[in-house]
Amino acid sequence: MILKSEILTFRNTELRDIDFVCSLESNEENAKFIIPWSKEKHEKAIENTDILHLIVEGGKGNHPVGYMIIAGLENPDLSIELVRITIRDKGKGYGKESIRLIKEWVFTKHNANRLWLDVKVNNLRAFNLYKKQGFVVEGTLRECIKNDKGFESLYIMSILKNEFEKSNQG
C-alpha cells in the first residue's frame, strides 16, 4: 500500500525498517506517550493481514519521518483502530498530514464506518491534533496503565464516516 500527498508518502513497513521504528519508540520524547513494542511484536504486526504497519516518509529525499500502525482491516463491523502514530520530525505538519491521509484512506478506500484510537490524557499535543482532525472523546479509561510513577488514564476518541464526509464538504 502506498499513500501520497504533497509532503508525505506512506509505504508498507519492511523488516529492514524495524530498527528505525524501535528507535523512535525508545526516544525519550516519544516513550512517555506510548508503550513500546518489541522487535518481534513489530515483525508479527507486519505479517498480520488485519494490521497495516506503515512507514511515513517526507522531507527532502523522502526519508523516514515516522510510522503508523492501524488495525481492524478484517473487522466485520468496519471499525478501524489507529494503534499508533509516532513522528520523529515534530512541528513540520507531518502528524497532521498523516492523520488526514489515513482518514481519507480508511473512509474512502477501505470503506470503514469508524476510526478510533486511544491517547494518554497527558499527551496534549496529540489530543489537540486529534480534536482538530474531527475526533470526538467517547470516554476515559481511568488509571488503566501502570507506570513507575503510578497510573495513567486514556481517552478513547473516534471519528465516524459521516462526520468525515461532512467535514470534507465544507
Q: How many residues does the chain have?
A: 170
| All structural domains of the chain with their residue ranges | 2-169
CATH node for 2-169: 3.40.630.30
Reported as a single tens digit per residue, the pLDDT across 7-51 is 999 999 999 999 999 999 999 888 889 888 999 999 999 999 999
Res. 154 pLDDT band, cuts 50 70 90: very high
- Specify which residues 3 forms β-bridges with: 10
pLDDT of residue 8: 94
pTM for this structure? 0.93
Q: What is the mean pLDDT of residues 152-167?
A: 97
* Cα–Cα–Cα angle for 39, 44, 47, rounded to 5 degrees: 130
Number of neighbours of residue 108 by Cβ within 10 angstroms: 13
Question: CB neighbours of 13 closer than 8 A, spacing ≥ 6?
Answer: 21, 42, 46, 53, 54, 55, 67
In angstroms, rounded to a whole number, what is the distance separating the alpha carbons of residues 51 and 47? 8
Answer whether residue 168 shows pLDDT above 70.
Answer: yes
pLDDT of residue 1: 56
Reported as a single tens digit per residue, the pLDDT across 65-119 is 999 999 999 999 999 999 999 999 888 999 999 999 999 999 999 999 999 999 9
